[in-house]
Structure 1
Amino acid sequence: MIRKFFNAFVFTILPLFILLAQTYTIEQYLNIRSASNPTISPDGKFIAYLTDVTGTNQVWKKGLTSGCPEQLTFFDERVQFISWNPKDKYWILFGKDVGGNEHTQLFLLKSDGSEIRRLTYKDDVIYNFGAWSNDGVMFAFTSNERNRAFFDVYSMNIKTGQTKLVWQNDGNNSVVAWSPDNRYIVVSQNRSSFDNDLYVIEYETGKVYNITPHSQPARYFSVKFSKDGKRIYLLSDEGKEFVGIAYIELPNGKLNYIFNTNWDVETFEISKDGKYLVFVLNVDGYSEVYSLNIATKRTKKLNFPAGGIVGSLRFTPDGSKIIFTYQSPVKNQDIYYYDVKSNTCVQITQSSTAGIPQSSFVEPKLVRFKSFDGLEIPGYLYLPKNAKKDSSLAVIVSIHGGPEAQELPRFSALYQYFVNNGYVIYAPNIRGSTGYGKTYASLDNTTKRKDAIKDVAMIPEFLKSTGYINPKKIIVYGGSYGGYMTLAAVTFYPELWAAGVDLVGISNFLTFLKNTGAWRQRHRMAEYGDPEKDAEFLKEISPFYHVDRIKAPLMIIQGANDPRVPKSESDQIVESLKARGAIVEYLVFDDEGHGISKLKNRIKAYKAIVEFLDKNVKNK
């Protein structure tokens, strides 16, 4: 009798114990899928989108309300974007590079997958898609074919293949809209991440108008034409601390705001009848979706999913639905539609979690700490389930790239893996991040860079105060600019860190500004400084010149084809560290660029990171 009771007890409790104690491999986490970049067929029956089911983003198609997903492209290389012809349901435009080199080439894809036509043929040139003409016969794009430092504006007729030079200009130009009557093309000319101008080009005459003359840095983006083509709606922060919704009457009217508040508007779409806008508000990183009646200026909050990030808003041709993407820290990204009439949402794609239960994922807490000068720094703290305040846990401080970007409550398979394996993650928005106003975003510009590094140096003390963290097990981690911050942290505050992980990071601003892609140099100088005028300061804040200070073990990962932060940035600091006998592990991927996009490479890279951190920090 006792034996029967014992057996029943064991077999009842054991499965629960296994579930509670279950961990999953890094390979499983990296096989969690996502869907993105939805584009709608002109008859409204299908969406095409990108998903990484095969290991890199490829084009897939699915019925809007029914049917199974169908794969349309089968490349080893990633597809970067897609756009369905607005008038011809049989053709989809997409862009693809090779090995992460960002030399995007343009292609037409038949919507049943039966044919692919290459439209551009110079593999050392970048072709950036802009917008379709309203009749779907042409599209506008920019190219740096004439001069690698500048992007001229072109149009291409997809029926004849004929290309027309619309505007030759020595600027960093991108096409952002084409008017409904095909009369105007709107072009954005970027000087920095926080300053650009909009130009209207009369397509037939070539006459050009600057419609956003201004004296102080300002942004103008997300341009949409009104239904009658007489005005454009756009997002801007001209004269404002936060990004709001505005309009400009064409061809040369003034900027007029119709919505502004103390958070940034991230994106918006115009209803098919032209009477209202639907927009996404960034509230402390989380998305809130509203409609705005253009005539009355009244707003109404819509019943979109909460607690995460909404993007890629698209109205269906009949205006009855809004296609969008959604993800949260505990939900991998998928595509949905919002039914305007019923105020409800339906999930369209079903991306796999690779057998890992969603219930195992961890929601972060939004927490703030005060930096050296009293400035409040927000960030997301991910704690393992059942974490105890016994000062025992290793923590990864994850610094986002950019720097003109924002850490958001998005889904990160890597974060979830580490938290599931007993690490804490803290992902802050140090000064210079977007989302908290124009002033906050400018607090790290040029000679203020040291203040942002000090923000990172304040994080260990804050983390120790939570009671969860072992002070000897604090790791700094980041990619691109976050990679620079990793190197800067272990260089200028060496006693704080147990290890560092740098992915495609800047080690020397002088060589970086010399060797980054020609089209990026002036843009990056506006953020970091002039290598001639600011040479001494750039040298002072470049880790490469202070390698002797580094004490923490480092892992560095680099793509050989990176046009943004060239491989030489990693090569030179690794060579210097090795010459000193420092602990450094270096992984280079010959078929990657600015980041790791291919699944096989991601598995190799992140397995190496896990083993490096477990060996040098967690299990030490």
Structure 2
Amino acid sequence: MTAIDAFPLIPRDHLFGNPTRSQGKISPDGKWLSWLAPEGGVMNVWLAPRDDQSAAKVITHSEDRPIPQYLWAPDGKSILYIQDKGGDENYLLYRVDIETLAETTLTPFENTRVDVVGSSVAIKDKILIGLNNRDPQFHDVHLLDLNTGDLTLVLENDSYAGFMADDTLTLRMAMRQNEAGGTDYFRITDNVVEDEPFETTAMEDALTTSPAGYTTDGSVLYWLDSRDRNTAALFAQDTQTGERTLIAEDDKADIGGTIRNRQTGVVEAYSVNYLKSEWTALEPDLKASLDWLGEQLEGEYGISSRTDDNQTWIVWNDPLTASTATYIYDRKAETLTPFYKTRPELEGAPLQPMHPVEIESRDGLTLPSYLTLPAGSDREASGRSDAPVPMVLMVHGGPWARDSYGFSSIHQMLANRGYAVLSVNFRGSTGFGKDFLNAANKQWGLAMHDDLIDAVEWAIAEGIADKDKVAIMGGSYGGYATLAGLTFTPDTFACGVDIVGPSNLETLLSTIPPYWAPMVKIFHERMGNPDTEEGLALLKAASPLYKADKIVKPLLIAQGANDPRVKQAESDQIVGAMKEAGIPVTYVLYPDEGHGFAKPSNNIAFFAIAENFLAECIGGRAEPLGDVLEPSTAEIVEGASHVQGLAA
């Protein structure tokens, strides 16, 4: 019996099933509470009076896909939510009147994706939205009356990637990629875009510089800006004179989120997230509230919703080794009233702490990373396992995204099954300055992959990982990294799990969603331009498809048939190449999913297959499959015999 066997298996559905509640919010006037919770097994919006949660009622009626996101209308008369079909990411906007519970489709169009361009403190019954129903590449800006549903065209767009408005719902700025792969920012006057940009960035700053909104009087424009520096700092720019004032900076990480005054729009606090997220308050009353919360709560915490008078907050608290809890915080009374626990079924489960670590790459970069160890493997609580254990390298998507500190269902499941889990912010990850980000330019399958290999070698050298039992796993870019791991470095990993990962970078770039077209230069400049001989050669060299015959270790691939970002053909291609070369592969297809799996039944089924696949490859524990596939839509296209219990 090994140390892990002394700890119970955490049921898959406790980690990947519907949460009891999530996305708790409070109405602008403080009279109502809202949240997402299951109704008929599907996440829907619920509503209750603040003083009587027992009177809660479900106000939406999605019967198939969970509602992913909702918000209160600024006037507090309705709740707005978005929903797509089958994972196609064509999100439409819906409204539910909180008095009559009547539901309206505010954007009743086909093959259309809505973006919120602007909302207002002063004009509470209207918002600005972008719609690409005229041209799928470009979002035209409309003024939407939330209570009548009337749409008024404000600006017809034929070239811009985005817009920004002020508190009067007046368009002030348009953004467009320039030939260098950077961004040009244009002033808008009377809904006409000026010919020349008033600000511009080069490609090196394009992902680390962006406007962060106006104060409500329009006198100040905030920027997160990395120009002439490495990490993005917070600046305030006078909109009349153009003069800029530095508000905050950090040497290791970009300035991240801000807390703004509800009425004035002035920044009152900012966050920096290097290994952990830390807030700094600039306003005394806000500092007193954040300090008080820090004394009451252990672990990470943050604000998810506030009333218009800013006296009541909905606060979440992630203790990492227990269920995330949400509270109603009365600032004046200094009281925290329990609202709900997201997954109360995890109370008492053997959840493991996440350890922030810094790993050095072969060329001297510091890779901020996160390690979770199996229960019972670290008796000294040193952050290192007592003896080498099997390990899963969990690679994030993007790649222009990042891993962060906090509760992770995937980390907890894998650690509970007996694996160390390592998530690495490889070069190209966001939040750590532009030098770190740009070190990944045209390095897919090259230095970006070297960082992952360096992290594995670090874990082996530290005595954490058993070098013969290391798996690689990830979604989107992480799925690509999995395929790259098994093709470019076929002896490093014992197996791989690829979730919606691209196998052919040339076809990936030729099939991006049409609304990404205004930003296509970001891909060409950072990955390789398929329209040039040199760029095409780079993309082909970095594509695992062309090295599929190098795969010698077990591979599990999962794909959503409706994925608009990484088309099904990306998985079909490499599965076909492996079959042709006589290499075993297991391929799971979800006909009603897109870029990832939204339905809990599908998510649970996937992780059931994945944990049994990993158990067979690197020897951890697994909850038996049982009848987990029955409620899911999973189609086992290839290789059922390669996963224990799947053929049955």
TM range (shorter): 0.7 to 0.9
Q: CA deviation at 1:167?
A: 2.3
Tell me how far apart the structure 2 counterparts of residues 333 and 561 of structure 1 sit (CA, whole Å): 32
Aligned residue for 2:155? Answer: 167
Letter in 2 for 1:555: L
Tell me how far apart the structure 1 counterparts of residues 422 and 188 of structure 2 sit (CA, whole Å): 46
Question: Measured at CA, do residues 149 and 553 of structure 1 come closer, stay the same or move farther in structure 2, by a change above 3 Å?
Answer: same
Tell me how far apart the structure 2 counterparts of residues 435 and 110 of structure 1 sit (CA, whole Å): 39
1:137-170 residue CA offsets vs partner (Å, 9 max, x unmatched): 3211112223222222222233443323322333
Question: Measured at CA, do residues 387 and 194 of structure 1 come closer, stay the same or move farther in structure 2, by a change above 3 Å?
Answer: farther
Q: CA deviation at 1:125?
A: 1.6
Aligned residue for 2:607? Answer: 606
Tell me how far apart the structure 2 counterparts of residues 191 and 541 of structure 1 sit (CA, whole Å): 26
Aligned residue for 2:453? Answer: 457
Q: CA deviation at 1:23?
A: 1.9
Question: Measured at CA, do residues 322 and 574 of structure 1 come closer, stay the same or move farther in structure 2, by a change above 3 Å?
Answer: same
Q: Kindly report which structure 2 residues correspond to 1:405-444, keeping only aligned pairs within 5 A, or say none.
A: 405-444=401-440
Report the RMSD for the aligned CA atoms in angstroms: 3.3
Aligned residue for 2:70? Answer: 82
Tell me how far apart the structure 2 counterparts of residues 191 and 481 of structure 1 sit (CA, whole Å): 25
Q: CA deviation at 1:114?
A: 1.7
Aligned residue for 1:583? Answer: 584
Aligned residue for 1:361? Answer: 351
Identity of aligned pairs, percent?
27
Q: CA deviation at 1:459?
A: 2.6
Letter in 1 for 2:530: P
Matched, 1:287 2:265: no
The SS at the match of 2:138 is coil
Residue 7 of structure 2: which of 21, 24, 42 is its match? 21
Matched, 1:277 2:271: no
Q: CA deviation at 1:557?
A: 0.4
Question: Measured at CA, do residues 391 and 498 of structure 1 come closer, stay the same or move farther in structure 2, by a change above 3 Å?
Answer: farther
Tell me how far apart the structure 2 counterparts of residues 414 and 143 of structure 1 sit (CA, whole Å): 35
The answer to whether the 8 Å contact 1:56/1:78 transfers is yes
The answer to whether the 8 Å contact 2:119/2:169 transfers is no
Aligned residue for 1:155? Answer: 143
Tell me how far apart the structure 1 counterparts of residues 335 and 177 of structure 2 sit (CA, whole Å): 38
Question: Measured at CA, do residues 490 and 563 of structure 1 come closer, stay the same or move farther in structure 2, by a change above 3 Å?
Answer: same
Question: Measured at CA, do residues 373 and 275 of structure 1 come closer, stay the same or move farther in structure 2, by a change above 3 Å?
Answer: closer
Aligned residue for 2:543? Answer: 542
424-433 or 337-346, which deviates more: 337-346
Tell me how far apart the structure 1 counterparts of residues 436 and 138 of structure 2 sit (CA, whole Å): 30
Q: Kindly report which structure 2 residues correspond to 1:28-107, keeping only aligned pairs within 5 A, or say none.
A: 28-31=14-17, 33=19, 37=23, 39-51=25-37, 56-64=42-50, 67-68=53-54, 69-75=56-62, 76-87=64-75, 89-107=76-94
The answer to whether the 8 Å contact 1:478/1:486 transfers is yes
Question: Measured at CA, do residues 256 and 582 of structure 1 come closer, stay the same or move farther in structure 2, by a change above 3 Å?
Answer: same
1:195-253 residue CA offsets vs partner (Å, 9 max, x unmatched): 54555544x55455855334562445473432433223343333332233222333673
Aligned residue for 1:136? Answer: 124
- Structure 1: runs of 5+ lacking an equivalent: 1-16
Question: Measured at CA, do residues 319 and 59 of structure 1 come closer, stay the same or move farther in structure 2, by a change above 3 Å?
Answer: same
Return the TM-score normalized by structure 2: 0.84
Aligned residue for 1:241? Answer: 230
Residue 492 of structure 1: which of 488, 491, 494 is its match? 488
308-317 or 441-450, which deviates more: 308-317
Aligned residue for 1:530? Answer: 529
Q: CA deviation at 1:20?
A: 5.4
531-540 or 270-279, which deviates more: 270-279
Q: Kindly report which structure 2 residues correspond to 1:346-385, keeping only aligned pairs within 5 A, or say none.
A: 346-353=337-344, 355-358=345-348, 360-385=350-375
453-462 or 509-518, which deviates more: 453-462
Tell me how far apart the structure 1 counterparts of residues 185 and 35 of structure 2 sit (CA, whole Å): 29
Tell me how far apart the structure 2 counterparts of residues 308 and 514 of structure 1 sit (CA, whole Å): 44
The SS at the match of 1:591 is coil
Aligned residue for 1:212? Answer: 199
The SS at the match of 1:603 is helix
The SS at the match of 2:19 is coil
1:66-106 residue CA offsets vs partner (Å, 9 max, x unmatched): 6245432221223233232222x221222110111000111
The answer to whether the 8 Å contact 2:268/2:286 transfers is no
The SS at the match of 2:68 is strand
Question: Measured at CA, do residues 384 and 535 of structure 1 come closer, stay the same or move farther in structure 2, by a change above 3 Å?
Answer: same
Question: Measured at CA, do residues 519 and 493 of structure 1 come closer, stay the same or move farther in structure 2, by a change above 3 Å?
Answer: same
Tell me how far apart the structure 2 counterparts of residues 62 and 524 of structure 1 sit (CA, whole Å): 45
Query: How many pairs does the alignment contain?
Result: 599
The answer to whether the 8 Å contact 1:400/1:478 transfers is yes
Tell me how far apart the structure 2 counterparts of residues 345 and 235 of structure 1 sit (CA, whole Å): 33
The SS at the match of 2:129 is strand
Tell me how far apart the structure 1 counterparts of residues 310 and 326 of structure 2 sit (CA, whole Å): 17
Q: CA deviation at 1:341?
A: 4.5
Question: Measured at CA, do residues 136 and 423 of structure 1 come closer, stay the same or move farther in structure 2, by a change above 3 Å?
Answer: same
The answer to whether the 8 Å contact 2:215/2:266 transfers is no
Matched, 1:266 2:262: no
Return the TM-score normalized by structure 1: 0.87
- Structure 2: runs of 5+ lacking an equivalent: 379-384, 621-643
Letter in 2 for 1:230: S
The answer to whether the 8 Å contact 1:287/1:307 transfers is no
Tell me how far apart the structure 2 counterparts of residues 518 and 582 of structure 1 sit (CA, whole Å): 35
The answer to whether the 8 Å contact 1:129/1:175 transfers is no
The answer to whether the 8 Å contact 2:7/2:350 transfers is no
